[in-house]
Amino acid sequence: TLIPTFCFSSCYCKENLSRAQNAVRGSGRLNRSGLSLLVSPECLESTESGDVFVDCQDRRLTSIPKSQTWSREPKHFLLARNQIKVLRDGAFFGYESLTSIDLQQNQISLVEEGAFKGLTRLTTLLLQHNRLETLSEEALIPMPHLRYLRLYDNPWNCLCLMDSLIRTIQIPSNRNLGNHARCAEPIRLKGMKLKQVDPELLCKESDPTNETRGNQTDTTHPVKPSPIRTKPDATTSCHTYLFPEIWMDCSRKGLTEVPTGIPEDVVRIDLSHNSIRHLRARDFQSARSLRSLNLSNNNMEHIDTVSLSGLLHLRQLDLSDNSLHFVQYGVLEDLYFLSKLKLGGNPWVCNYSIHYMVYWLRLHQGVRYSGLLCHSPPEYTGESVEEYMHSYNRECPKDRQHSRTDQDQTDPELWNTAMEAQAELEEELEPSHLRAPQKYQIFRLS
């Protein structure tokens, strides 16, 4: 079975949603009091590429549903954004087929030592954005194949109890265990990465006289965070989901720029509802696998020419509800496989600068696009940009020195090759007094 190529918003690429919904079973359906921890949640079972997924995200769960609830043993268990506070011993009995569990964005503050018993096939465990202060390495022992463990954004208390866990994640071969997680306590280790903290310091009693030293300048104390704003980091600013595809939810995070460090394997990123004004060169440099990029509902006025370069696999681009007047020549050049482009809700200006986008769309007939309407000047307000182009070409025959007819200009069928159209475009973008008489000669002004 092929995974559907695109999955925007909250859909999880259900292979067969209706089947999944029908598959929800269990006595809990008969007891909707919502009070009982045993009430079975209305989760979705689905199959993708032969793997069984159970999606219980956003279900207000306070505990792990019993494994008998499902018609088949799941391989991936999505439990993000619930209200689970404790993982009890044996919480995953009956879930021996699991290879991944996503428990991010719960309220977990306690993991009992036997919580993960039986999960011998588990490779991925996501515990970021919880309330864990401590976790014993013992809890990880039942999972010999664990390769990805996310622990960041938990208030880790780096004391003696964490000694064995910290030593484990610092073993070089465990390079995907516990990255980005930092100590919140004690003060002397605050902000240190678990990956880097010196295990020898964990069990040291802190000397109380050092804490009350008064006004003396103390260089051993951690420096206050620098007031200089640094670029936000994607892994800490956004929520990362691994299944059924790797994607990042960075929407509504108050971002004013694209965060750095988007991991190379991220397939989809949602940056909507932020305050990004400007896409800069190299903003997506690391994000080579991106297939869908959602930048809707920002304040974007400008997109640097090379900011989208290298996104060779991008299929969907949502630029709607921004402040764009036009896109600069060259911005779209690398998007060979784009198939969907959303442009609505921008104040597109129907002047010469918009021609690039229209030509690019003519050359890329496979791109379905929407929302390309003139916002100004007043004589074109509300008209589609294509109509504006049509009248531009009709009304300015004197601007067309070469022998092509208006029909030639607007009918993509008559454009023989991309090269030819490109040359035409570049030529047209020159101010007319600089235009070379030869059709394919191109001046660079910069």
Ligand X SMILES: *[C@@H]1O[C@H](CO)[C@@H](O)[C@H](O)[C@H]1NC(C)=O
- Minimum Å gap between C-beta 31 and ligand X is 4
- Residue with smaller CB distance to ligand X, 209 or 230: 209
Site size for ligand X (CB under 6 A): 31
Residue 302 three-state SS: strand
* DSSP string covering 177-243: BSTT-BEEESGGGTT-BTTTS-GGGTTPPP-HHHHT-TTS--TTSPPPPPSS--PPBHHHHSEEE-S
| Contact of 234 with 222, CB cutoff 8 Å | no
Among residues 3, 11, 27, 31, which is the contact residue for ligand X, using CB under 6 A?
Answer: 31
Tokens of 106: 């719960």
- Minimum Å gap between C-beta 251 and ligand X is 6
Tokens of 90: 């044996």
Please provide residue 76's backbone torsions phi and psi, each rounded to the nearest 5 degrees: -130, 130
Q: Does 440 bind ligand X (CB under 6 A)?
A: no
- Minimum Å gap between C-beta 128 and ligand X is 22
| Contact of 320 with 371, CB cutoff 8 Å | yes
Q: Which stretch binds ligand X (CB under 6 A): 8-16, 112-120, 138-146, 380-388?
A: 8-16
Rounded-to-integer distance, Cα 247 and Cα 263, Å: 10
Q: Does 69 bind ligand X (CB under 6 A)?
A: no
What mask, x for binding ligand X by CB under 6 A, covers residues 157 to 196? -------------------------------x--------
CA-based angle 283:286:288, to the nearest 5? 110
Q: Does 8 bind ligand X (CB under 6 A)?
A: yes
Q: Does 19 bind ligand X (CB under 6 A)?
A: yes
Q: Which amino acid is at 184?
A: A
Q: Which stretch binds ligand X (CB under 6 A): 65-73, 190-198, 202-210, 408-416?
A: 202-210
Any long-range contacts for 35-43 (C-beta under 8 Å, 24+ apart)?
37/62, 37/63, 38/66, 40/65, 40/66, 40/69, 41/65, 41/69, 43/69
CA-based angle 294:297:300, to the nearest 5? 90
Among residues 99, 256, 285, 353, which is the contact residue for ligand X, using CB under 6 A?
Answer: 353
Among residues 122, 349, 372, 389, which is the contact residue for ligand X, using CB under 6 A?
Answer: 349
Q: Does 298 bind ligand X (CB under 6 A)?
A: no
Those residues whose C-beta lies under 8 Å from the C-beta of residue 433, and which sit 6 or more positions away, are none
Q: How far apart are the first and last CA of the chain?
A: 50
Q: Does 219 bind ligand X (CB under 6 A)?
A: no
Q: Which stretch binds ligand X (CB under 6 A): 17-25, 366-374, 388-396, 431-439?
A: 17-25
- Residue with smaller CB distance to ligand X, 5 or 22: 22
Q: Does 18 bind ligand X (CB under 6 A)?
A: yes
What mask, x for binding ligand X by CB under 6 A, covers residues 250 to 289? -x------------------x-x-----------------
Q: What is the dihedral angle through the alpha carbons of 167, 170, 175, 181, rounded to the nearest 10 degrees?
A: 90
- Residue with smaller CB distance to ligand X, 207 or 386: 207
**Which spans of this chain sit near ligand X (rule: CB under 6 A)?**
8-9, 16, 18-19, 22, 31, 33, 35-36, 188, 204, 206-207, 210, 214-215, 251, 270, 272, 294, 296-297, 316, 318, 325, 342, 349, 351-353
